[in-house]
Copies of this chain bind each other. A is one copy, B any other.
C-alpha cells in the first residue's frame, strides 16, 4: 500500500485500501510496439503501469502547444504592457473577477473535451479528473491557480494549471490509461491579493481554514482595478455567487480526495536562473506569517505642530519599516510591507492612524518566531518614542492574519520529481545532473495546504531575473515545457509507484 493511500485512511472506506491485485488478463497487449518517443500518437490505449522506465523517461510535453494554450488563457485579464510582442503584457486577473470567470469557463470546457469529469466545490475550486482504470481510488492531481496579482505576470500559477492541461493532452493523445485517475485542480484566490488570505481555498479544502471565515473575507480596498472594493467591498461568497462559481461539493479533502498533489511553478527567485540550472526539485517551503499592524498616534497640523509635539503614526511606521529589514536580515529572514494606509490622508494633517501589512519569512518556523519577538520589542520602543513629548505616545497593535509553518514535502513525491527531472534533462549537455537541484520555496503555494493531507511536492523552473509579481515576469517556452514534462512524468511515476509496489 502506498503512503498516498494511507493518508486517506481516516476518510476512505477500508475496502479501498486493500492492496490492489492486478487483473490476470489485459486487453492492452504489447502496446509499446506502437510507441515512438516524442510521438504524439499511439495507436492503441496502453496502461501506465505497463510502461518501461525508458518509456516513462521519454514522455514529453509539447512545448509549442503549451505556450499557445498558456498565452491563449492570458487573453482574459491581461495587464500592463512592457514590450512590443503580442504576449509582452503582464496579467491582472484578480480572483473571482469577470476575467477569472472567463478563464474558469475555458478551463472547464477544455478539460471536459479531454474526457474529464469536472466538479466545483463551495470555494469555487475546480477539479477536473480524467478517470483511471480503477474507480475506487483517488486521483493523482496536478494543481495551481489561475488568479494573479494586480500587477502580476503570465506564469505565476498559470503555468501550473496549464502544465496540468498539457499533461492531460499528452496522456489523451497517447491513449495512455492510468491506474488511478489524473486530475487537474484550479485553486481559488491563491494569491490572496483580492481576498486577503493567500491559498485560502486549498486551506479550506485541507480543513485548516473554516469555510465561513473564507466566505466572509472582504476584498482589499487597495486593489484599484475593482471599483467596488472601496465603496461596497464584495465578500468571497458574494463574489463567488456573482460569477456563479459556488459549487455544490463541500470544500474538503474528504469530498474531493487526492492521492497526491504535484505543482509546477516558476521559481520566483534568482537561484536557478543565475546558476543556469533547469529544474528545482522543491523539498520544502519556508515559514511565514502575515500580520496587520495598526499604529495609533494623534492627528495634528503639519504647519503648527513641532516635531516634539507630534505623535506622527506615519513617522513611527517609517522607523518601523527601516528597523524591520535590519532585524529580519540579522536572523536570515525577510520582512516586507505590501499594503499601507495612513489616515486621515490630508497633505497638511499629520496622520494619527496608520495600518499596514507585514510579511515575515524564514527558513524555519523558529526563525519567524524570533523575528516577530524582536520586532514586537523594537516597534513598541519606536511607538513609545513618538509622542512622548506630549505624554501621548503612539501605540502599536499586531493582528496575526496568517501563519504558515515551514513545510517539508513528501519523500515519495520528491523522489518522483527527482527521477523525472533527471530524465527530462538527461540529454542536455555534458553534466545533466548539474542542471537539477533541490531547492526550498520562499513563497507559499497551494501545495503547502495539500501537503497537510496528501503527499505533495513541487517543481520549479527558472524565470527571468528571478522576478515575479511583476508584469515582466517571464519564463521561456522551453523552460515551461521542461517543467511540464517533469510534472507529466512525475504523475505517471507516482501512479506506477502506487500500483506496482
User: In the complex, are the beta carbons of A347 and B351 less than 8 A apart?
Assistant: no
Q: Bound complex: CA of A290 vs CA of B343, how far in Å?
A: 18
Query: Interface-forming stretch among A105-113, A189-197, A408-416, A417-425?
Result: A189-197
List residues of chain B with CB within 8 A of the CB of A321.
314-315, 318
User: In the complex, are the beta carbons of B338 and A303 less than 8 A apart?
Assistant: no
User: In the complex, are the beta carbons of B470 and A299 less than 8 A apart?
Assistant: yes
Q: Bound complex: CA of A359 vs CA of B307, how far in Å?
A: 13
> Please, what's the 1-or-0 string for A398-413, where 1 marks a CB less than 8 Å from any CB in chain B?
0001000000000000
List residues of chain B with CB within 8 A of the CB of A342.
222, 337-340
Minimum distance in angstroms from A388 CB to a CB of chain B: 15
User: In the complex, are the beta carbons of B192 and A348 less than 8 A apart?
Assistant: yes
User: In the complex, are the beta carbons of B299 and A469 less than 8 A apart?
Assistant: yes
User: In the complex, are the beta carbons of B268 and A303 less than 8 A apart?
Assistant: yes
User: In the complex, are the beta carbons of B309 and A468 less than 8 A apart?
Assistant: no
Q: Contacts A302-B361, A346-B150, A347-B192 hold; do A314 and B337 have CB atoms under 8 A apart?
A: yes
Size band of the interface chain A makes with B: 35 or more
Max chain B Cβ within 10 angstroms of own Cβ: one of A288, A340, A343, A348: A348
| In the complex, chain A residues 279-302 whose Cβ is within 8 Å of any chain B Cβ | 286, 288, 290, 298-302
Q: Contacts A230-B227, A346-B469 hold; do A151 and B352 have CB atoms under 8 A apart?
A: yes
User: In the complex, are the beta carbons of B349 and A357 less than 8 A apart?
Assistant: no
> Please, what's the 1-or-0 string for A328-352, where 1 marks a CB less than 8 Å from any CB in chain B?
1100001011111011111111111
List residues of chain B with CB within 8 A of the CB of A220.
345-346
Residue among B229, B300, B339, B471 making CB contact with A346, cutoff 8 Å: B339
| In the complex, chain A residues 305-330 whose Cβ is within 8 Å of any chain B Cβ | 305-307, 309, 312, 314-315, 317-322, 325, 328-329
Beta-carbon nearest neighbor of A271 in chain B: B304
> Please, what's the 1-or-0 string for A429-447, where 1 marks a CB less than 8 Å from any CB in chain B?
0000000000001111000
User: In the complex, are the beta carbons of B340 and A314 less than 8 A apart?
Assistant: yes
Beta-carbon nearest neighbor of A225 in chain B: B344
The answer to the question of A149 belonging to the interface, with a C-beta cut-off of 8 Å to chain B, is yes
Q: Contacts A319-B322, A338-B351 hold; do A304 and B468 have CB atoms under 8 A apart?
A: yes
Q: Bound complex: CA of A304 vs CA of B321, how far in Å?
A: 18
The answer to the question of A270 belonging to the interface, with a C-beta cut-off of 8 Å to chain B, is yes
User: In the complex, are the beta carbons of A325 and B307 less than 8 A apart?
Assistant: yes
| In the complex, chain A residues 454-484 whose Cβ is within 8 Å of any chain B Cβ | 465-471
The answer to the question of A269 belonging to the interface, with a C-beta cut-off of 8 Å to chain B, is yes
List residues of chain B with CB within 8 A of the CB of A471.
299
Residue among B222, B269, B349, B401 making CB contact with A338, cutoff 8 Å: B349
List residues of chain B with CB within 8 A of the CB of A100.
none
The answer to the question of A390 belonging to the interface, with a C-beta cut-off of 8 Å to chain B, is yes
User: In the complex, are the beta carbons of B304 and A466 less than 8 A apart?
Assistant: yes
Residue among B270, B348, B357 making CB contact with A443, cutoff 8 Å: B348
| In the complex, chain A residues 212-240 whose Cβ is within 8 Å of any chain B Cβ | 220-224, 227, 229-231
Q: Contacts A290-B347, A346-B220 hold; do A338 and B302 have CB atoms under 8 A apart?
A: yes
List residues of chain B with CB within 8 A of the CB of A223.
344-346
Q: Bound complex: CA of A192 vs CA of B299, how far in Å?
A: 16
The answer to the question of A202 belonging to the interface, with a C-beta cut-off of 8 Å to chain B, is no
Minimum distance in angstroms from A501 CB to a CB of chain B: 36
User: In the complex, are the beta carbons of B334 and A151 less than 8 A apart?
Assistant: no
List residues of chain B with CB within 8 A of the CB of A467.
298, 300
Q: Bound complex: CA of A466 vs CA of B311, how far in Å?
A: 13
Beta-carbon nearest neighbor of A350 in chain B: B336
User: In the complex, are the beta carbons of B302 and A468 less than 8 A apart?
Assistant: no
Q: Bound complex: CA of A216 vs CA of B178, how far in Å?
A: 66
List residues of chain B with CB within 8 A of the CB of A201.
none
User: In the complex, are the beta carbons of A346 and B303 less than 8 A apart?
Assistant: no
Residue among B302, B329, B352, B357 making CB contact with A336, cutoff 8 Å: B302
Minimum distance in angstroms from A439 CB to a CB of chain B: 11
> Please, what's the 1-or-0 string for A350-389, where 1 marks a CB less than 8 Å from any CB in chain B?
1110000101010000000000000000000000000000
The answer to the question of A122 belonging to the interface, with a C-beta cut-off of 8 Å to chain B, is no
Residue among B270, B303, B325, B340 making CB contact with A340, cutoff 8 Å: B340
User: In the complex, are the beta carbons of A468 and B300 less than 8 A apart?
Assistant: yes
The answer to the question of A267 belonging to the interface, with a C-beta cut-off of 8 Å to chain B, is yes
Max chain B Cβ within 10 angstroms of own Cβ: one of A318, A322, A325, A465: A318
Beyond A149-B344, A222-B345, A350-B469, 15 extra complex contacts between A and B, CB < 8 Å: A150-B344, A193-B346, A270-B309, A290-B348, A300-B468, A300-B470, A302-B359, A304-B468, A314-B338, A318-B322, A322-B322, A338-B350, A339-B346, A347-B359, A348-B359
A-B contact pairs, 14 of them (CB 8 A): A149-B344, A149-B346, A221-B230, A223-B346, A302-B338, A305-B466, A307-B328, A309-B466, A315-B325, A339-B345, A340-B340, A346-B469, A347-B359, A390-B465
